[in-house]
Structure 1
Amino acid sequence: MGKGVMIAGTHSGSGKTTVGLGLLGALSKKYTVTPFKVGPDYIDTAYHKFVCGRVSYNLDVFMLGEERLKALYGLKSDGDIALVEGVMGLFDGLDTQGFGSSAHVAKILNLPVILVIDASGMARSASAMVGGFRDFDREVNIAGVILNKVGGQKHYELLKQSIERDTGVPVFGFIPGDPELCLPERHLGLVPVYEMEGLKKKFHRLYSYIERYIDLDGILRTAEKAGSLDIKGQVPAFADFCVNNEAVKIAVAMDEAFNFYYQSGLEVFRDMGAKLVPFSPLHDIALPDGISGLYLGGGFPEMFAGQLSRNLPMLESIKNSIESGLPTYAECGGFMYLSRCIRDQEGKGYPMAGVYDIEAVMTRRLQHFGYVEAEVTSENVLAEKGFKLRGHEFHHSEMVGFFENTCYLVGKPGKPEKWRCGYRFKNCLATYVHIDFFAYPNLAENFLRKCLEFLKRSEFK
């Protein structure tokens, strides 16, 4: 296994994303860097690609399991260095044991950890913090520290001297406190990179700090100390199944409104031979020609509801295609797009495709937020009855109205509450549950078989 390191924080807001993006951008000037993100975050991975020019992969223990997670990391970390951005605080996970935390993933992958600390207003107390994190779980290799929001060179020298003397953990540098580096947020995290203006200027400022104040050579040497990884035969990303991509083309919604996809999941379809054809529900007027499948991912359709609603030719194209039996899979934002309308918090409705006679109503709180487990209660375009899958929900809307034909029974891990989802219409499945097809290549295969069946019927007609 090659070089690799994890950038983790003491808590959410410590600056790990800022530091991680700065390191990705600075290192990418000389090296081929493969970025990863712990957990189910789509937005940070898009920023990773923006700063280093390479796609980023999600490392989620709950959805992938340990073996598939190791396989994903092993298969995709093909550059000079892999840089993994952590999630929340280093030891924060799904339960009180830290399942799925950055620390958990670091141990699975034998990665050294560089801890990011918000050092504003701190002096020797930073030593106590570093010492506490170092000693909390000795199986986690905290190999260095980067200090964020430092008051200046003298402040940094005080912090560095204290931490290295008191804990023996090396300090690789600092980022000065600078409000210009802050990235704006909204209800699901950072504002997506697709909506941001002036990013290049902001990141150029960040890279200059990284190159001036961070020991990049020290980080590279630390990455060389990543432990070996046993990947049982390099588990493939796809099943023993392949289609002709000249025949099987899947339209994938990809624009400002729809961009929440797991890269590893998309690559499963590609590795099985399908051709992925991006299109824009916002800007195009019809689905691409010659497709035999449709994938509507998540995103922020509520932020573009007016524009989506005005694009009547696209709405009609999608509804007519689904009516004709086009195999379609829609997640979260894509599900909302297929409803009768999206209704904002003020009650104003924006007509959508109307495949499902229900409304997506925006609420002021997250609905069913977090990891979920779903049991398939009836066959659909992805799975047979009885199949169980793991995913997550992350939305501020709820479906209002009655639709009888659902095929998922969903609940939170270890909790008794259950609810219906997985709305089925002909060959269309729409759900709030996000999954990573890398964990379920058999589901991708099932979808592609439906695409082949649709293609044959179309040719016969």
Structure 2
Amino acid sequence: MCKAFMIAGTHSGVGKTTITIGIIGYLSKKYKVIPFKIGPDYIDTAYHRFASGNSAYNLDVYMLGDDYVKKSFLKHALSGDVALVEGVMGMYDGINNTSYGSSAYVAKLLSLPVVLVVDASGIAASVSALVKGYIEYDKDVKIKGVIFNKVGSEKHYKLLKECIERDLGIKAFGYLPQDDMISLPERHLGLMPIYETKGEHNFSILYDRIGEFIDVDGILDSCDVELKKDDLDDGKAAAKTKEDIKIAFAYDEAFNFYYQDSLDSLIYAGVELIPFSPLHEDVIPKDAVGIYLGGGFPEVFAERLSKNHSMLFSIKESIEKGMPVYAECGGFMYLAKKIVDLNGDGYNMVGIFDLDAIMTKRLVNFGYAEAEVVKDNVLFKKGDVIFGHVFHNSKMSGIHDDFAYEVHKPHSEEKWPCGYVYKNCLGTYVHINLLKYPNAVERFISHCKDYGREMGKYGI
């Protein structure tokens, strides 16, 4: 049995990620905390994993659908003592001008109590009107209380607390003062990935501030939902016995954007996943019969990646021999001829696709995307439909006419090609969560087995 609740915000930038990470770190001193993030964000979940010491999971209704979101949440939450879900954007901000997929939508889907983070800078009694709007907009959302961020002083907090509890009858669980020491480092696409902070940020200060200024025990006591194993209707068979199928996945400072459920889906299917570093190692793992190149920030490390000639050659040679490779976003950019930065400087990459990844000053095709599969490939069959997310500020320049996907945004008929194919390699800007596509997992494993047999790999 475990406690569960959500930290949501009135709007983006209100400080819910900082507060969530702080509460996770504080609670993890005493409890096993299983963290979750609503939406497609990879960076926040990496911070959650760092703070908790446990895997973090994305709950994305558009990409997974309601049923898979519920299954993922219950399965993983019940492995811990506390399940803490971080919301996305403002509480009611969903796809386009709806609340579909929003923090509020998921809170209702999972019957989670909500703690609302409010930016208190420049506000006093008006806070009651603000929070009342969030309570009454959808009364099926169970807002239990608020945490105030950027509070000017203890006196300021007492005023805010009095207003909220007097006018609305909900709890004020505490606050964080304005403090540059607890601000998280940022970069062009949001927070700087935890892998690049190099331990320079003192998270213990944040955890101490949480314990000093926020009533975390009060939050737990207010959670009237206690998850039980009886709630988990997991009709899946037991995980498959591990086979001699080894798939290498890039994992270092440059490549670390993976949905944990995607990795778990491969492991559950019997795969042994072997991490390797395109930055620091010379060749791919020798026993690998497939490669998974996740997203990340290869543009930040382009010069170092380009100088690792032996790794570039190892990957290219393997693809030319027919090794199955799936590359998403940053991994896809890595397979281009070059990555060209904003200064026009180009850095040689693997060169599987006769294209250059040109960095841009703004996001390209940003947001959720639906793709129709128009050609068989190592993951999908023609006619399949997949739901994903696009988040990159680069574009491919060059000529390539072998595509597996036709992509469009929700409620839009404008399409563009993606899913670049070369032999048994699939490269795409569209991120997906493999949990929703067990057939794609099995298909990729099957291609890896075939390759292993052709190469005479032991045990295949």
Within the alignment, does 1:86 sit opposite 2:87 as a pair? yes
Q: 1:285 aligns with which of 260, 282, 285?
A: 282
**Structure 2 CA distance for partners of 1:210 and 1:232, relative to 1, 3 Å:** closer
Structure 2 letter corresponding to 1:415? S
CA contact (8 A) 1:241 1:445 kept: no
Residues 160 and 380 of structure 1, relative CA distance in 2, 3 Å threshold: same
Alignment partner of 1:414 out of 401, 411, 416: 411
Question: Match of 1:218, SS?
Answer: helix
Question: Cα–Cα, structure 1 residues 273 and 229, in superposed 2: closer, same or farther, change >3 Å?
Answer: closer
Which residues of 2 match residues 3-402 of structure 1 at below 5 A? 3-77=3-77, 78-199=79-200, 201=202, 203-225=203-225, 233-236=233-236, 242=240, 244-245=242-243, 247-402=244-399
Distance 2:422 2:134 in 1: 51
Partner amino acid, structure 2, of 1:214 = I
List runs of 5+ in structure 2 lacking aligned partners.
Answer: none
AA matched with 1:140 = V
Distance in 2, matches of 1:159 and 1:194, equals 37
Structure 1 CA distance, aligned partners of 2:136 and 2:229? 24
8 A Cα contact 2:407 2:417, kept in partner: yes
**Secondary structure in structure 2 of the residue aligned to 1:395:** coil
C-alpha distance after superposition, 1:127-164 (max 9, x if no partner): 11111111110000001111111112111111101110
Shift of the 234–282 alpha-carbon distance from structure 1 to 2, 3 Å rule, reads same
What is the TM-score of this pair, normalised by structure 1?
0.96
Shift of the alpha carbon at 1:439? 1.1
- Kindly state the Cα deviation for residue 223 of structure 1 after the two structures are TM-superposed: 2.6
Q: Secondary structure at the match of 2:47?
A: helix
Q: Deviations over 1:181-204 (max 9, x none)?
A: 111222221010011144452x11
The answer (yes or no) to whether the contact 1:109–1:229 under 8 Å persists in 2 is: no
Maintained 8 Å contact 1:111/1:227: no
Q: Is the 8 A contact 2:248 2:273 kept in 1?
A: yes
Deviations 1:31-76 (A, max 9, x none): 1100000000000000001111111000000000000100000110
Deviates more, 1:309-318 or 1:215-224: 215-224
Select the residue among 437, 441, 453 that pairs with 2:438: 441
Q: What's the CA shift string for 1:62-101, capped at 9, x where partnerless?
A: 0000001000001100211100000001001113221110
3-state SS, counterpart of residue 210 of structure 1: helix
Letter in 2 for 1:439: K
CA RMSD of superposed structures (Å): 1.7
Cα deviations across residues 273-307 of structure 1 (Å, max 9, x unaligned)? 10000000000000011111100000000000000
**TM-score, with normalisation over the residues of structure 2?**
0.96
For 2:235 and 2:141, how far apart are their aligned partners in 1? 26
Match of 1:405 among 399, 402, 423: 402
Quick one: distance in 2 between partners of 1:165 and 1:232?
A: 39
SS of the equivalent of 2:391 reads strand
Assess, with a 3 A threshold, how the Cα gap between structure 1 residues 414 and 240 changes in structure 2: closer, same or farther: farther
Cα distance, 1:230 vs structure 2: 9.1
The amino acid that maps onto 1:207 is Y
Residues 69 and 303 (structure 1), Cα distance of their counterparts in 2 relative to 1, 3 Å cut: same
In 2, the alpha carbon distance for the partners of 1:347 and 1:97 equals 40
Shift of residue 445, structure 1, vs aligned partner: 0.8
Query: Deviation of residue 217 (structure 1)?
Result: 1.3
What is the DSSP-based 3-state SS (H/G/I as helix, E as strand, rest coil) of the residue aligned with 2:162? helix
Distance 2:84 2:109 in 1: 15
Contact 2:2–2:227 (Cα < 8 Å) also in 1: no
* 1-structure distance, mates of 2:393, 2:231: 38
Distance 1:20 1:328 in 2: 35
**C-alpha distance in structure 1 between counterparts of 2:361 and 2:133, whole Å:** 37
Shift of 1:231: 6.3
**Does the aligned pair in 1 maintain the 2:390–2:431 contact within 8 Å?**
yes
Per the TM alignment, residue 243 of structure 1 is displaced from its structure 2 partner at its CA by 6.3
Taking the aligned partners of 1:363 and 1:194, their CA distance within structure 2 comes to: 23
Deviates most, 250-259 or 187-196: 187-196
For 1:448 and 1:351, locate their aligned partners in 2 and report how far apart those are by CA, in whole Å.
Answer: 30
Task: Give identity over the alignment, percent.
Answer: 53
CA contact (8 A) 2:43 2:193 kept: yes
Distance 2:156 2:407 in 1: 51
Q: Verify the 8 A CA contact 2:75 2:232 in the aligned structure 1.
A: no
**Partners of 1:416 and 1:98 in 2: how far apart?**
22
Contact 2:265–2:441 (8 Å) recurs in 1: yes
Q: Partners of 2:56 and 2:227 in 1: how far apart?
A: 21
Matched residue of 1:438: which SS? helix
CA contact (8 A) 1:112 1:226 kept: no
Other structure's SS at 1:74 match: helix
Contact 1:110 1:226 in 2 (8 A): no
SS at match of 1:34: strand
